[in-house]
Amino acid sequence: MGLLIDGKWQDRWYDTAKTGGKFKRESSKFRNWITADGSPGPTGEGGFEAEAGRYHLYVANACPWAHRSLIFRKLKKLEDMITVSVVEPLMLEEGWTFAEPDPINAVTRLYKVYLAADLTYTGRVTVPVLWDKKRKTIVSNESADIIRMFNSAFDGIGAANGDYYPEDLREEIDEINAKVYDTVNNGVYKAGFATSQDAYEEAFNALFSSLDDLEKRLSRQRYLTGDRITEADWRLFTTLVRFDAVYVGHFKCNLRRIADYPNLSNYLCELYQVPGVAETVNMDHIKQHYYGSHKTINPTGIVPAGPELDFLRPHDRARLAA
């Protein structure tokens, strides 16, 4: 794995030396927004109007951040409007790669897509990436923004109904997202990529304290904000679905499994069973990627054969219906 520095690819692992062994996630650099009329969004510049066929999404099936964007593409029925390229599961010396030259930029390495947008780009080369075929540039490489664009920008040109960031719940969603991002979504990475015992334990404790709180919340209500599925649920889902297969072992998040939490595990099954969502979960890519790409954590690259997982089993969440 590596990064671009002034447009040059460098093969480097995360540098935790300067941060006391703590993993610090870099913020995303491309922050424009697709909007219904091409007006600027909350950040970046305008000129990215919602149009069928204009945009392309680069994802890794393994990646929880990219997974959010695939879920929103699916729920909002944007599959015919927004094309997708999926990278290979392993992320090694050349970063994310494609098995075949990708149909849009005809490259086999994702960093070339970043260079096509900015020849002097400095930063990590992450998925998801939302590409504009018309202006031949990156609209955004921030999943939190991409799912909000998918949620509403295409509504006027045929996206499916469904608002996962409704006006009346925004404040609560933002509050939950902030906590879940810090302690759960990014929390598992902070535990897994820590290179000091203290940094690991700090992340570990915050993670399980949050999961305990979420378990309590979900014992009282069906979804994180009440009786409607929102963005906050989908953001939590992509971490939960990877948890027992990967984070428990590979990232040493092993105080409890999601399977040990009655409410979280039933909630996970319910979300998994929402039509279309199971098709966005690729457990082979997920396991291969983590166990095979992080050689500093798992030098042999052996992928565990278990655990047995059944997200299609009946769940008990209807007991909490409004």
Ligand X SMILES: N[C@@H](CCC(=O)N[C@@H](CS)C(=O)NCC(=O)O)C(=O)O
**Binder to ligand X among 74, 76, 112, 124 (CB under 6 A)?**
124
Single out the residue of 280, 300, 272 nearest to residue 63, CA to CA.
280
Q: How far apart are CA 284 and CA 304, in angstroms?
A: 11
Number of CB atoms found within 10 A of residue 100's CB: 8
With binding defined as CB under 6 A, does residue 236 bind ligand X? no
- Rounded CA-CA distance 113/56 in Å is 12
Q: Contact 25/123 with Cβ under 8 angstroms?
A: no
Report the distance separating Cα 3 and Cα 126, nearest Å: 9
Among 88, 102, 132, 142, binds ligand X (CB under 6 A): 142
Is 126 annotated for ligand binding? yes
| Binding flag, residue 159, ligand X (CB under 6 A) | no
127 is in an annotated binding site: yes
Tell whether residue 32 is a contact of ligand X (CB under 6 A). Answer: no
Q: Which 178-217 residues touch ligand X, going by CB under 6 A?
A: none
Return the structure tokens found at 82: 């927004």
Among 35, 97, 105, 126, binds ligand X (CB under 6 A): 126
Q: Is 59 annotated as a binding residue?
A: no
Q: Which amino acid is at 18?
A: K
With CB under 6 A as the rule, give the number of residues binding ligand X: 14
Provide the sign of the torsion angle of the four alpha carbons 19, 24, 26, 27, taken in this order: negative
Residue 98 binding ligand X, by CB under 6 A: no
Q: Which is nearer to ligand X, 189 or 315 (CB)?
A: 189
Q: Least distance (Å) from ligand X to the CB of residue 88?
A: 13
Among 63, 82, 241, 281, binds ligand X (CB under 6 A): 63
The least CB distance from residue 315 to ligand X, in Å, is 27
Q: How far is CA 165 from CA 10, 212, 301, in A?
A: 38, 25, 39
**Shortest Å, Cβ 93 to ligand X:** 12
Catalytic residues: 63, 189
DSSP, residue by residue, 257-318: -GGG-HHHHHHHHHHHTSTTTGGG--HHHHHHHHHHH-TTT-TT-PPP------TTS---GG
Can you tell me which of 35, 143, 152, 238 binds ligand X, judged by CB under 6 A? 143
Name the minimum Å distance from CB 5 to ligand X.
13
The distance of closest approach from Cβ of residue 113 to ligand X in the complex, given in angstroms and rounded to an integer, is: 12
How far is 187 from 46, CA to CA, in rounded Å?
Answer: 33
Annotated binding site for glutathione: 96, 124-127, 142-143
Positions in the binding site for ligand X (CB under 6 A): 1, 28, 60, 63, 65, 124-128, 141-144
